[in-house]
Structure 1
Amino acid sequence: MATKKSDFDKVLSAWDVLVIAFGAMIGWGWVVSTGDWIMEGGVLGAMLGFVIGGIMVFFVGLTYAELTSAMPQCGGEHVFSYKAMGPIGSFICTWMIVLGYVSVVCFEACALPTIVAYIYPDFLTGYMYTVAGFDIYASWLAVAILVSVFITAINIVGTKTAAILQTILTVIIGGVGILLIAASALTGTTANLEGQLFMGATTTDMVKGTLAVAVMTPFYFIGFDVIPQAAEEISVSLQKIGRILILSIVLAVLFYALIIFGVGYVMNNSEIAVAMKGVGGLVTADAMAVAFGSSIMAKVLIIGGLCGIITSWNSFLIGGSRAMYSMAESYMIPHVFAKLHDKYKTPINALLLIGLLSIIAPFFGKKMLVWVVDAGNFGCCVAYCMVAISFVILRKKAPEMARPYKVSHYKLVGVMAILMSGFMVVMYMIPGSGATLVPQEWGMVLGWSVLGVLFGFYCKAKYGSKFATHIDVAVDNEAVEEAGDLAFGQAMAAALHDVESDAPVTYVSQPLSFSFSMPVSVVFGAGKRHMAGELFRAYGTKALVVTDAATNGRDIVNEVEKSLKEAGISVSRFAHITGKSLDITADSAVDEIKKNGSDFIVAIGGNTVMEGAKLIASAAARTLGRGMMPLNFVPTTYHAGACFDASLPDGSRDNALLAKVVLVDPDCMTGMSQKDRAVSGFAALCECIRAYTAPDAQPLTDAMALYAIDILNDKLVGVCGENTDKGAWEKVVLAGVIGSMVSAETGCQVAKDLKQAVAKTSFAADEVLLAAIVPVVVDAKAGKDPFLYGKLARTMGGFTSDDCAARLCYLAKALHLDLRIADMGVHEDDIANLAEAYMGEEAAEAVREKAAAMEAAFDS
């Protein structure tokens, strides 16, 4: 699949990500609406309502966390829904979320001067006109316009600049909130809670009141979804993004719940009722004044709330502009909105448009903006529901997709997220629900929808085939970490640690020092078997062709012998190699050498034939008292480690046993069965992984191994089917040969390691076992070097080191090697023992745990 390099700068740290999301969610609502929440559900009822609402959003947030880590691309919802539902679903989902973002930005432009007027009533001067009962003043407009220009300019100058502003304001909000909570705890009394823990005369009424609060709370949590919009600008690891997104939701729930408790603990029900009827009805501000015994502190709290307006404004400007950019980049809306600022790398035209709308919005008054924001909330909920559906679709449609932050029990999470977000959408439609859209708001939703349809038709006509196209951004996330499924408490602790320790991951660079020796000439290419005589004649005039019974009946042997004879080389054939009693077989071959005066050997076949040929050469040198006969190999399987190895089955080595020429003709290997192709290919992949991760690895073997791993991961499954593409087949053969070469160079040969591992067992060293052992080994080792295994994972289509074992399991399953190994007489303890022997230094207990996990992965 085609990919592109991101055009954005990665400037957002873990802390920046947290304050952008958290600042968007806490906003201004806790200042103006706490009294309404308490009067509706009571102190404990309202707190419980926020917890219930938080759980609703939490499920949606989990889907966002997984999808954002899997597809960290600007636009978030646009990318998720495109992958799952295609262009139409993506257009609807993103267009709805844009409505939500733009509506909040416009509303905040009106809310800010309104709060200024509350603090300084004399501020309103220069009456101009009235809209829907709301008076418009020149001073009111001036403040709204100036702040709109300022925030838009901050966002154009750079995302990092906007994040710095967000940090300052969020710290102020948090500080003011903590002051209220602490002062209430010190000066409040439990007597104030009497009669207002829950509202209602009956249990049914209390439940209704609590649920009434719960229904509206999700609308106060809108903001966490800004994180995926800016995913390309985040410089932390992919798993951290998911953790921080969930953390932001949990912190918002705690913040709202504690504010409710603080107000109820310092003011009784009658005092809250009186405050509700006061100027502005700002019960939270009045509670601050009571807690500190000073009216000045009420204005301090309002200033904190004022900061909340700007944090929401700032976050949704970031989110809205990125959502528009992603649609424009796919040519769903005019492509001019996909332009980035030359210097600051921010979507300048999208920011200018939303900024212009925030300047225009105050001219229509606050009442109309309330309608707009309600319509926008509806749009956000529709988008949430579509993302939740996309989450479930992609788990079925793309199970192999790397998911650095992977949600456990995805079916439960997906269903709950769909039901919860769908419930929010329905609440806007049902009359009397308390959230029903009024006709003016439905008109705005309809108008926005019509505008989207017009954009769609216009862009389809203008851009043609480019309309609704999408290109993935290539992920380059070097700062990987040890990943794994975490319990909720562990995930929260890890997320807090992510924010606290925001230093980039660094690795010590070792000085380059290595040696590379590959004293074997490799001749590669289809049809090269017909050049055997030309290639081998430098090594003698009388050839002993060594093969086995299976290969002896194939045309390959005759074609090689014909080429040798045409080069003036006489030929005798020894076709008695078997996997048993090679020593006896070698003695028989020596007799053939004496009889025919053979002076070099040509071995045609698989590894067993190559091993037999080396034994024959060694026996002839020993028996005839002469130097080692030159060896030349024509392998008939692409996993032929014996071609590049100078050792004998007893472990002894002699460099004279290295082949002079290894003639690799992919056409000689087409007789391999589908199972042999799969088993040999997976073994070659394991050889490359062992070589790449070996202590003696070096730059040249690393480059060769990664090249081969990329080919095998991409092409192997295809060549194991009924119809094999010739080009793909040749590449797989090349990758298999590379696996044998790098394993010989680094001394990490999986066949020998496997034999050593099964030495204490009663079953044979069948290479099918590699599909069970190697993922366990990789899973146990990956966390010890996340950088090394992270790069390996990305070569195999994953993202972080956590994906290595999962990608191997997926490939084994695609190759039909994921059989229940218990059917082979291998049990869970055997896997642990095999893995322990295979990896040597690892503790048996750790391996057993990983082995059990891998078995479960195969089952699923």
Structure 2
Amino acid sequence: MSSGNRDFTRKKLSKTLKPHWVWAIALGSSIGWGSFVLPADWMQGVGPMGVILGLTIGAALMAIIAISYGVLIKNYPVSGGEFAYAFLSLNRVHAYISGWFLTLGYICIVAVNATAFALMLKFVFPDFIENMKMYEVAGWDVYFTEVIFVTLIVGVFTWLNIKGSGLSGRMQFFFCLVLLLGVFTLTGLMTTNEATSFSNMTPAFDPGTTPIAAILTIVAIAPFAYVGFDNVPQAAEEFKFSAKKALTLIMLALVFGALIYSLMIVTTAVATPWQQTSSAGALWGTGDVVTEVLGTGGMVILVIALSMGIFTGLNGFLISASRVLFAMARGKVLPESFARLHPKHNTPYFAIIFAASVAVIAPFFGRNVLGWVVDMSSVGVSIAYFYTCFTAFKMLKWSENDPKYDNTLHIVSPGKKVVAVLGMLSSVGFLGLLLIPGSPAVLGMESFIALVVWVVLGFIFYMVRRRELQSYDREDLAYLILGKKKFKLGEENN
């Protein structure tokens, strides 16, 4: 393959992932730490039923978007996911935009899972973790001890990922099984205990807001709550099975994810009137009520389940972040270093190490600052969802009489084409809830500033890389990004 007088070959990843491992990557990444740490925070100003309905509706909207993912994964099982799809339907500039926001979102979630582990240790072993205080950031005390633990846990998963996706996939499945067992056990013990009552879940919605506003507040965080199902396309190049199964695996992950979120809301709310749990300002509301009702044994189960959620989030998003970086480098958007493969394990080791290195910076800024970045990363994920649904819409045909957009792919499916439109509308709706002033879920000023900074940095980096990126023909980039040379779906000016 050549572009001008340059010769290059397309680097490929090894096919090692089994179906149940991919399901675990999607599920474990989607629920992560949030289902165990945030129930009390989410109920504040919303109410338990507002959270449950909001997250259930959010899962349904994610399922609509997932159908477009299923179409694209089946036909283009390549690393990079939304980055590749934006190139397929539009051009290299849109591919860069999609990849830039995805990278931010994924690395942020690696970081927030790592800091969640430190938060858990701070709750369980406060005298040990709260040592060697360095400074305070936005009201959050930063301790050198927790920085050390975050660095160690990220280092372990960095090593696992470099060793190969087969090992990390196997571990992910084990973590998910333990997590599920922990959630079902906790919910069973809490709901059947004499000290708890379902009456504590009343009123179902916060009296200070309307039910619709309460539900929409939670629906708006669905891109954050369920981000992780889109890790499946990032790993598609490494499937050791037919890519046709991808949509089923994603749907199963979304169903289990919505169930786990709902069960943890119930587990937290039945212990005491939910208004007290959500307004107490405690470090960890769920941890408090479980300890109060079930004692040390219940806390041990919760800590194990939370640890599994953190581990699945760390592992899943480290896989995805590194694959997006690898795909962007293979597509000449990022420097070639990110496409380097380990000589023995054939994994993108430089991209893995880079993503992990950025993530371990997080604890130095404190949890509150990191929360601002994570909040605004939902904007980036929603943008990536839109690109995916838009690409699926362009690929699908209403009938055989429609023009062929692609020399190798012309699927007649008016139903899925309608679903792709609904997916685009859902993505725009998420963006509206996050960005329109007056929305019940609009970003805070700190998160909005972080978003602007990331956009400016992205523009500067693109201008630095623009000359080299534009020096490649679209055909050449199509081969590198998609593994296919001949197609006419997207148009662009070089």
Structure-2-length-normalised TM-score: 0.87
Q: How far, CA to CA, are the matches of 1:116 and 1:195 in structure 2?
A: 29
How far apart are 1:275 and its partner, in Å? Answer: 6.7
Give per-residue Cα distances to partners, 1:726-770, cap 9 Å, x unaligned: xxxxxxxxxxxxxxxxxxxxxxxxxxxxxxxxxxxxxxxxxxxxx
1:443 partnered with 2:449: yes
How far apart are 1:309 and its partner, in Å? Answer: 1.8
SS of the residue 1:129 aligns to: strand
Of the candidates 270, 273, 284, which is equivalent to residue 269 of structure 1?
A: 273
Q: How far, CA to CA, are the matches of 2:171 and 2:196 in structure 1?
A: 39
For the 8 Å contact 2:49–2:205, the answer to whether it is kept is no
Match of 2:138, as an amino acid? A
More off after superposition, 37-46 vs 234-243: 37-46
* Cα pair distance change 1:318/1:188, threshold 3 Å: farther
Of the candidates 145, 153, 156, which is equivalent to residue 147 of structure 1?
A: 153
Q: How far, CA to CA, are the matches of 1:122 and 1:39 in structure 2?
A: 29
Q: How far, CA to CA, are the matches of 2:54 and 2:30 in structure 1?
A: 16
Q: How far, CA to CA, are the matches of 1:331 and 1:211 in structure 2?
A: 40
Superposed counterparts of 1:219-368, under 5 Å: 219-264=224-269, 266-269=270-273, 273-274=276-277, 276-277=279-280, 279-283=282-286, 285-289=287-291, 293-368=294-369
For the 8 Å contact 2:395–2:410, the answer to whether it is kept is no
Of the candidates 397, 401, 405, which is equivalent to residue 398 of structure 1?
A: 405
SS of the residue 1:409 aligns to: helix
Q: 1:784 maps to which residue?
A: none
* Cα pair distance change 1:38/1:133, threshold 3 Å: closer
How far apart are 1:475 and its partner, in Å? Answer: 8.2
How far apart are 1:117 and its partner, in Å? Answer: 0.9
For the 8 Å contact 1:40–1:210, the answer to whether it is kept is no
Unaligned runs of 5+ in 1: 477-713, 715-796, 798-860
How far apart are 1:136 and its partner, in Å? Answer: 1.8
Q: How far, CA to CA, are the matches of 1:9 and 1:226 in structure 2?
A: 17
Give per-residue Cα distances to partners, 1:45-65, cap 9 Å, x unaligned: 432222211111111111111
How far apart are 1:41 and its partner, in Å? Answer: 4.1
* Cα pair distance change 1:36/1:196, threshold 3 Å: farther
Superposed counterparts of 1:639-718, under 5 Å: none
Match of 1:341, as an amino acid? H
Q: 2:462 maps to which residue?
A: 456
1:471 partnered with 2:471: no
For the 8 Å contact 2:396–2:410, the answer to whether it is kept is no
Superposed counterparts of 1:198-209, under 5 Å: 198-200=204-206, 205-209=210-214
For the 8 Å contact 2:106–2:318, the answer to whether it is kept is yes
Q: How far, CA to CA, are the matches of 1:462 and 1:210 in structure 2?
A: 47
Superposed counterparts of 1:513-524, under 5 Å: none
Q: 2:432 maps to which residue?
A: 426
Match of 1:178, as an amino acid? F
Superposed counterparts of 1:745-784, under 5 Å: none
SS of the residue 2:478 aligns to: coil
Of the candidates 416, 426, 429, which is equivalent to residue 422 of structure 2?
A: 416
* Cα pair distance change 1:401/1:179, threshold 3 Å: farther
For the 8 Å contact 2:44–2:278, the answer to whether it is kept is no
Unaligned runs of 5+ in 2: 3-7, 398-403, 488-494
How far apart are 1:240 and its partner, in Å? Answer: 0.8
Q: How far, CA to CA, are the matches of 1:363 and 1:343 in structure 2?
A: 34
SS of the residue 2:136 aligns to: strand
Give per-residue Cα distances to partners, 1:67-98, cap 9 Å, x unaligned: 11111011111111111011111111111111
Superposed counterparts of 1:366-385, under 5 Å: 366-385=367-386
1:131 partnered with 2:134: no
Match of 1:327, as an amino acid? M
Match of 2:359, as an amino acid? S
Q: 1:389 maps to which residue?
A: 390
Q: 1:7 maps to which residue?
A: 12
Q: How far, CA to CA, are the matches of 1:277 and 1:200 in structure 2?
A: 15
Q: How far, CA to CA, are the matches of 1:121 and 1:403 in structure 2?
A: 59
SS of the residue 2:318 aligns to: helix
SS of the residue 1:128 aligns to: strand
More off after superposition, 3-12 vs 26-35: 3-12
Of the candidates 174, 180, 193, which is equivalent to residue 174 of structure 1?
A: 180
Give per-residue Cα distances to partners, 1:287-343, cap 9 Å, x unaligned: 54466x324312430332132122112111111111111111111111211111111
How far apart are 1:10 and its partner, in Å? Answer: 0.6
Q: How far, CA to CA, are the matches of 2:184 and 2:319 in structure 1?
A: 27
SS of the residue 2:135 aligns to: strand
Of the candidates 100, 103, 117, which is equivalent to residue 98 of structure 1?
A: 103
Superposed counterparts of 1:2-81, under 5 Å: 7-81=12-86
CA RMSD, aligned part only?
3.0
Larger Rg: 1
Higher relative contact order (CA 8 A, sep 6+): 2
1:114 partnered with 2:97: no
SS of the residue 1:130 aligns to: strand
* Cα pair distance change 1:294/1:110, threshold 3 Å: closer
Q: How far, CA to CA, are the matches of 2:423 and 2:470 in structure 1?
A: 36
Q: 1:570 maps to which residue?
A: none
Match of 1:394, as an amino acid? M
How far apart are 1:278 and its partner, in Å? Answer: 6.1
* Cα pair distance change 1:413/1:138, threshold 3 Å: same
SS of the residue 1:136 aligns to: strand
For the 8 Å contact 1:188–1:267, the answer to whether it is kept is no
Give per-residue Cα distances to partners, 1:153-198, cap 9 Å, x unaligned: 2111111121222223222211110101222343369953376152
Tell me the percent identity. Answer: 28
Q: How far, CA to CA, are the matches of 2:264 and 2:100 in structure 1?
A: 34
Q: How far, CA to CA, are the matches of 1:143 and 1:194 in structure 2?
A: 37
* Cα pair distance change 1:98/1:454, threshold 3 Å: same
SS of the residue 1:11 aligns to: coil
SS of the residue 2:12 aligns to: coil
* Cα pair distance change 1:385/1:118, threshold 3 Å: same
More off after superposition, 141-150 vs 460-469: 460-469
1:162 partnered with 2:168: yes
Q: 1:84 maps to which residue?
A: 89
SS of the residue 1:470 aligns to: helix
